Amino acid sequence: MLNKSNTMKIIGFFHVLLMILISSVVITAIFNITLFSKANLIETIDYALDVTGAIMSPVDSLLVARIIRQQLWQVHFFVGVSLPIMAAIIYLMRQQIYKTKQITVFLNVSILFYMSLVGSLLNFRRELNLSLDFANILRDLHWTGIYIFIAFVLYHLYIVLIKTKRGY
Question: Which positions lie near another protein, rule CB under 8 A?
Answer: 5, 8-9, 11-13, 15-16, 19-20, 23-24, 26-28, 31, 35-36, 44-45, 47-49, 51-52, 54, 64, 67-68, 71-72, 75, 94, 157, 160-161, 164-165, 168
Three-state DSSP state, 44: helix
- In degrees, rounded to 5, the angle at the alpha carbon of residue 49 between the alpha carbons of residues 44 and 55 is 135
The least CB distance from residue 137 to another protein, in Å, is 29
The amino acid present at 30, given as its one-letter code, is I
Of 51 and 132, which has the nearer Cβ to another protein?
A: 51
The least CB distance from residue 89 to another protein, in Å, is 12
Q: In whole angstroms, give the CA distance from residue 65 to residue 40.
A: 9
Of 80 and 138, which has the nearer Cβ to another protein?
A: 80
Q: In whole angstroms, give the CA distance from residue 93 to residue 103.
A: 14
The least CB distance from residue 15 to another protein, in Å, is 6
Distances 36 to 49, 61, 121 between C-alpha atoms, Å: 17, 14, 22
User: What DSSP character marks residue 164?
Assistant: H
The least CB distance from residue 140 to another protein, in Å, is 26
Of 135 and 153, which has the nearer Cβ to another protein?
A: 153
Of 67 and 128, which has the nearer Cβ to another protein?
A: 67
The least CB distance from residue 71 to another protein, in Å, is 5
Distances 163 to 87, 138, 144, 159 between C-alpha atoms, Å: 22, 37, 29, 6
Of 23 and 144, which has the nearer Cβ to another protein?
A: 23
- Residue (of 90, 86, 85) closest to 7 by Cα position: 90
